[in-house]
């Protein structure tokens, strides 16, 4: 397939590489042009704008930070939307709000484009290894057309429905599950520390119980307070929680634990922690327990 790829951050670069490896013809565009070089060296064609990138493609893949970034590359100056050929499919892999995906679906339908929402689970290493877990929703015919893309980037493909936004609800809820775990860890560690038990000793016991790489990984990050550089920034975690709660409101399904996590992120922002890893939300439980001087530690 001829594919345009927009958004070459740490996740997108890995995904684009795997599309190249799978033999697809790739045109890339990134706001910071240097990030295109490694891919161009491997055979991708660079474009000067989103509009140029989508000339004559079968599919467009976007992997960007948020609703606003997608809005810009699609509908901004030299945006991809107007230039996307009729019949081409937009595969949106960003973690977006449900409402924005609903709007994208409507706009694309009106323009005669295909549209599939396909957010992914996995850290940058999984993206580089083609081992992402792809959550997919959209009209079955478009999903089938885009399947070679999912197979190139992921080790598992989960089709969850025909309405594109459903993939985003699932992705957001998955992120919520991780943030809920972080809050539970933060509260348990604060209790342990005040009772006189090392968090890592508690973690060893918890690992024996849960046997989950996610617990092992984040349990260690939090115990060792390795929040910088961020694997996934707290600011983006807050954005995700905002989207989770917007979906909760749409569905009229109260999520008090999600509300708690959001409030933790707001407190973290207020202490200046927006660039820390999202696991730093655990600092607020520590701060409340008197284990942290917020001004000192967050800087």
Among 125, 194, 200, 224, binds its own copies (CB under 8 A): 194
**Residue 229 or residue 290: which is nearer to its own copies going by CB?**
290
190 lines the binding site for its own copies (CB under 8 A) = yes
**Residue 6 or residue 167: which is nearer to its own copies going by CB?**
167
Q: How far is the CB of 116 from its own copies (least distance, A)?
A: 16
Contact 120, 154 (CB under 8 A): yes
83: CB partners within 8 A, 6+ apart? 50, 51, 52, 54, 55
Among 147, 161, 225, 226, binds its own copies (CB under 8 A): 161
Based on the residue annotation, tell me whether 239 is a catalytic residue of this protein: no
Contact 178, 218 (CB under 8 A): yes
CA distance 258 to 263: 9
Q: How far is the CB of 290 from its own copies (least distance, A)?
A: 3
Choosing from 45, 171, 194, 239, the catalytic residue is: 171
The residue count for binding its own copies (CB under 8 A) is 76
Question: Phi first, then psi: what are they for 86, rounded to 5°?
Answer: -60, 140
**Residue 113 or residue 262: which is nearer to its own copies going by CB?**
262
**Residue 45 or residue 147: which is nearer to its own copies going by CB?**
147
299 lines the binding site for its own copies (CB under 8 A) = no
Contact 246, 97 (CB under 8 A): yes
Closest by Cα among 129, 123, 63 to 96? 63
242 lines the binding site for its own copies (CB under 8 A) = yes
262 lines the binding site for its own copies (CB under 8 A) = yes
228 lines the binding site for its own copies (CB under 8 A) = no
First to last CA, the chain: 47
Q: Could you say which residues in the range 10-49 bind its own copies, by CB under 8 A?
A: none
Range in contact with its own copies (rule: CB under 8 A) among 52-60, 144-152, 201-209, 220-228: 201-209
Range in contact with its own copies (rule: CB under 8 A) among 1-9, 15-23, 58-66, 281-289: 281-289
248 lines the binding site for its own copies (CB under 8 A) = yes
Return the beta strands (E) in 94-205 as ranges: 114-117, 120-121, 132-138, 154-161
Rounded to an integer, what is the distance from CA 297 to the centroid of its chain? 27
CA distance 245 to 99: 12
Rounded to an integer, what is the distance from CA 153 to the centroid of its chain? 14
Q: Could you say which residues in the range 111-130 bind its own copies, by CB under 8 A?
A: 121
Q: What stretch of H or E contains 62?
A: strand 59-62
**Residue 128 or residue 260: which is nearer to its own copies going by CB?**
260
Q: Which residues are catalytic?
A: 171
């Amino acid at each position: 397939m001829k594919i345009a790829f927009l958004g070459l951050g740490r996740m997108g670069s890995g995904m684009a590489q795997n599309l190249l490896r799978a033999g697809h013809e790739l045109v890339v565009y990134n706001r910071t042009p240097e990030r295109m070089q490694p891919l161009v060296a491997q055979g991708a064609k660079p474009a000067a704008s989103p509009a140029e990138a989508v000339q004559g493609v079968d599919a467009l893949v976007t992997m960007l930070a948020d609703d606003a970034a997608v809005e810009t590359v699609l509908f901004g100056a030299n945006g991809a939307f107007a230039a996307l050929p009729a019949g081409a499919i937009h595969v949106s892999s960003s973690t977006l709000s449900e409402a924005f995906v609903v709007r994208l679906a409507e706009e694309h339908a009106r323009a005669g484009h295909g549209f599939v929402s396909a957010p992914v689970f996995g850290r940058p290493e999984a993206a580089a290894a083609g081992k992402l877990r792809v959550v997919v929703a959209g009209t079955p015919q478009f999903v089938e057309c885009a399947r070679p893309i999912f197979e190139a980037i992921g080790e598992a493909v989960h089709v969850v429905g025909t309405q594109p936004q459903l993939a985003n609800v699932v992705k957001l809820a998955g992120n919520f599950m991780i943030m809920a775990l972080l809050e539970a860890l933060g509260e348990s560690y604060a209790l342990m520390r005040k009772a006189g038990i090392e968090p890592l000793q508690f973690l060893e016991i918890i690992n024996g119980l849960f046997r989950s790489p996610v617990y092992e990984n984040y349990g260690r990050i939090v115990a060792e307070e390795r929040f910088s550089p961020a694997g996934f920034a707290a600011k983006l975690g807050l954005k995700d929680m905002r989207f989770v709660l917007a979906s909760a409101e749409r569905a009229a399904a109260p999520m008090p634990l999600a509300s708690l996590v959001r409030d933790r992120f707001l407190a973290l922002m207020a202490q200046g922690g927006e660039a820390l890893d999202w696991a730093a939300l655990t600092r607020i439980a520590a701060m409340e327990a008197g284990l942290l001087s917020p001004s000192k530690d967050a800087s």
